[in-house]
Structure 1
């Protein structure tokens, strides 16, 4: 009987000690995922050329943004910004043209709200390390909305990050510059459109030789010339292949007409000016395709072209 009592008391003592160990207070321990993400953020910063980019850290990282990239050109600020989320891993990334990554849907929805580009950077700390980026807003427009139209109803989604977007590569650097400039390019296109969309309605559709006098020509040319010059001021942020090659010719000829320096007879010069303006007007149809999501999807499906 005494032996039984002794054994029970011993078991009770052991149970009590076990409970103490289980509920013993320990200092807070930093999760390994936080350590990896911090190291990944530092690695990303080291890959950005300091002469072209200022990498700013954010204190409120829980909302999904780890860094802000600000672009500089020849030492001068450009006002071009990108929001960055970094996701690190200590494992090697798959050796594929596109790297799959599962991302919370709330992060994608958050990215859609931004006026500036929002980039996700997947960073591996294994071996020599590698970081790849994807422009989330453009990926959503061109890929996700078509590949999975109900993606907003899911808790998470798998996106595919192109390995051609490797931080540190020259081609990737050019793409980052293009992405950072996109909001300005979009605004410039709007202004270009405003100044060229109604050219066809501001010039006569039919011209008779005996009706073209200097006053007649100037009353049409002068206001149109003003619009052409305003459109020309937007070209610094619009890709050259989108711009009408006849724009500079139309401006030059319009100035000659207003200064009474005709290339040929007034009627011929005026007719040529109208034709040049018609070509300029057509250029906005090409420009608008860049913002047509169906056209961008067509380019992706037919030629594999995408800007994300």
Structure 2
């Protein structure tokens, strides 16, 4: 009897969320969203070092990769995000971070959307292809 097979991309997505959850500080609060089709996978409510809930939120877009292939300068260029998605993130009232999850090493690296757009504004205003550099030094494990 044949049964449906789970798409390997879906397995990577599920694993990336689990890895992300294990890599953030234990006192941060994950606020999951039910609709993930538009570029936000979850919100994080930050809790300070005195365990006070701050009300400060950040938006997270997770991107899972089996193994990140870093350049010699220790960055990875993430391409393939639609310019419409970047435009959407730029309108968000909360800071948006792309979190690149290496599912094999179980490490998470991040890049802020708005500062990336500001640094590469001339490329952004073309409203064509836009890519994000994720630097190895921006590891969640270093927070």
Counterpart of 2:77 (choices 81, 93, 100) is: 100
CA distance in 2 between partners of 1:62 and 1:36 (Å): 16
Q: Per the alignment, in what secondary structure is the counterpart of residue 60 of structure 1? A: coil
Higher strand share: 2
Q: Which protein has the bigger helix share?
A: 1
Change (3 A) 1:151 1:45: farther
**Cα deviation 1:274-303 (Å, max 9, x = unaligned):** xxxxxxxxxxxxxxxxxxxxxxxxxxxxxx
What is the CA distance between 1:108 and its match in structure 2?
Answer: 0.6
2:131 alignment partner in structure 1: 158
CA RMSD of superposed structures (Å): 1.9
Do the aligned partners of residues 151 and 36 (structure 1) sit closer, same or farther apart at CA in structure 2, a change above 3 Å counting?
farther
- The equivalences for 1:52-131 within 5 A come to 53-73=28-48, 74-95=50-71, 96-102=73-79, 103-126=81-104, 128-131=105-108
Q: TM-score, normalised by structure 1?
A: 0.43
In the superposition, relative to structure 1, how do residues 91 and 150 fare at CA in structure 2: closer, same or farther (>3 Å)? same
Q: Label 1:149 to 1:67 Cα distance change in 2 as closer, same or farther (>3 A).
A: closer
Partner of 2:13: 37
**Higher gyration radius (CA):** 1
**Would you say the 8 A contact 2:107–2:141 is kept in 1?**
no
Q: Which has the higher contact order (CA 8 A, sep 6+)?
A: 2
Distance 1:69 1:109 in 2: 21
- Give the total of aligned pairs: 140
Q: TM-score, normalised by structure 2?
A: 0.88
Secondary structure in structure 2 of the residue aligned to 1:62: coil
Distance 1:101 1:42, change over 3 A: same
C-alpha distance in 2, partners of 1:28/1:122?
28
In 2, Cα distance between equivalents of 1:164 and 1:123: 14
Distance 1:89 1:78, change over 3 A: same
Q: After the TM superposition, which residues 253-292 of structure 1 pair with which residues of structure 2 at under 5 Å, given as runs?
A: none
